[in-house]
């Protein structure tokens, strides 16, 4: 019996882990798909324009991006490579980690694999929940990453929002301020809906970048299953044929 309990508790560990990672913050869901090329193209555009001044993506090369996302190489060269980089170069930034640390207190991490470290819902909510906060060094705070050192670099698009808190009492009788929503104090160039869509595309791109092979894998997976299905039918017919005289 005890062994059984141990076995069950082991089983439940990986199930419980993702929930613990997003503790406290209820995340809006997001759907990502590496087969949605238009969304990935838009995400890539946002990434090079708004993120690559600080973050690199050193495991991704521009020509791979061009091929996977179906963007002609000359367009990538013209609109996505801002330094004198070549099409086969990795996506690096000129900022050194030391500069990053001096400016923000924390060096902006490389984002090649962030889509593996953080799940899509976390990234989607992170990008949408920056809010004004006088008490932090940058003047910004974030709902899913409290006291983050990154400023809200998309405030032109989203607008500027402040957080709405509600005081709630927990079971022990002590009170806490709980973040219950946001209030726009300055409009951005996008509506809330447009901004959500754009952040879905950016999340999709980060998700793709963490494992570009996912694209090929899904296609191969479908073909493999089809092959197995056809082969299974053939094998069954053959078996029937071979055993016909025996029965």
DSSP for 123-169 reads HHHHHH-EEE-TTSSSSEEESSSTT-S---TTHHHHEEEEEEEEEEE
Query: Candidates 9-17, 23-31, 148-156, 175-183 — which segment interacts with ligand HEC by CB under 6 A?
Result: 148-156
Minimum CB separation of residue 126 from ligand HEC in Å reads: 6
Q: Choose which of 30, 40, 44, 51 interacts with ligand HEC (CB under 6 A).
A: 51
DSSP for 157-203 reads HHEEEEEEEEEEE-TTS-EEEEEEEEEEEEE-SS-HHHHHHHHHHHH
Does position 188 interact with ligand HEC (CB under 6 A)? The reply is: no
Among residues 34 and 114, whose Cβ is nearest to ligand HEC?
114
Structure tokens at 95: 């900022």
Using CA atoms, how far residue 70 sits from 8, 44, 65, 75, 200, in Å, is: 46, 12, 8, 11, 19
Using CA atoms, how far residue 225 sits from 216, 218, 219, 231, 232, in Å, is: 14, 11, 10, 10, 10
Residue with tokens 């819902």: 121
Structure tokens at 199: 């952040």
Is residue 203 helix, strand or coil? helix
Does position 53 interact with ligand HEC (CB under 6 A)? The reply is: yes
Q: Choose which of 45, 55, 143, 152 interacts with ligand HEC (CB under 6 A).
A: 55
Minimum CB separation of residue 36 from ligand HEC in Å reads: 18
Contact 144, 239 (CB under 8 A): no
Minimum CB separation of residue 177 from ligand HEC in Å reads: 21
Q: What angle do CA 145, 121, 166 make, to 5 degrees?
A: 50
Among residues 61 and 152, whose Cβ is nearest to ligand HEC?
152
Does position 57 interact with ligand HEC (CB under 6 A)? The reply is: no
Does position 140 interact with ligand HEC (CB under 6 A)? The reply is: no
Minimum CB separation of residue 150 from ligand HEC in Å reads: 3
Any bridge partners for residue 184, and if so which?
Answer: 161
- Would you give the binding string for ligand HEC spanning residues 78-117, x where CB under 6 A is met? --------------------------x-x-xx-x--x---
Minimum CB separation of residue 37 from ligand HEC in Å reads: 19
Query: Candidates 22-30, 45-53, 155-163, 179-187 — which segment interacts with ligand HEC by CB under 6 A?
Result: 45-53
Among residues 8 and 19, whose Cβ is nearest to ligand HEC?
19
Structure tokens at 75: 């367009």
Footprint on this chain of ligand HEC (rule: CB under 6 A) = 50-51, 53-55, 104, 106, 108-109, 111, 114, 118, 123, 126-127, 148-151, 153-154, 202
């Amino acid at each position: 019996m005890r062994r059984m309990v141990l076995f069950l508790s082991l089983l439940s560990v990986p199930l419980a882990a993702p929930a613990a990672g997003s503790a406290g913050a209820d995340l809006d869901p997001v759907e990502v798909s590496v087969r949605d090329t238009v969304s990935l193209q838009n995400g890539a555009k946002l990434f090079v324009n708004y993120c690559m001044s600080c973050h690199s993506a050193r495991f991704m090369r521009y020509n791979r991006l061009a091929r996977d996302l179906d963007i002609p190489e000359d367009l990538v060269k013209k609109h996505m490579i801002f330094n004198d980089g070549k099409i086969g170069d990795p996506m690096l930034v000129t900022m050194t980690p030391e500069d990053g640390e001096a400016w923000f207190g924390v060096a902006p991490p490389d984002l090649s694999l962030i889509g593996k470290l953080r799940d899509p819902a976390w990234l989607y909510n992170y990008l949408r929940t920056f809010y004004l906060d006088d008490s932090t060094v940058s003047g910004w705070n974030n709902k899913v990453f409290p006291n983050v050192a990154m400023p809200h670099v998309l405030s032109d698009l989203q607008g500027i929002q402040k957080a709405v808190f509600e005081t709630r009492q927990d079971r022990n009788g002590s009170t806490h301020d709980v973040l219950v929503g946001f209030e726009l104090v300055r409009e951005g160039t996008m509506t809330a809906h447009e901004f959500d869509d754009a952040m879905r595309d950016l999340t999709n791109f980060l998700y793709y970048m963490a494992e570009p092979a996912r694209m090929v894998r899904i296609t191969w997976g479908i073909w493999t299953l089809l092959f197995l299905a056809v082969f299974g039918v053939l094998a069954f017919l053959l078996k029937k044929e071979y055993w016909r005289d025996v029965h």
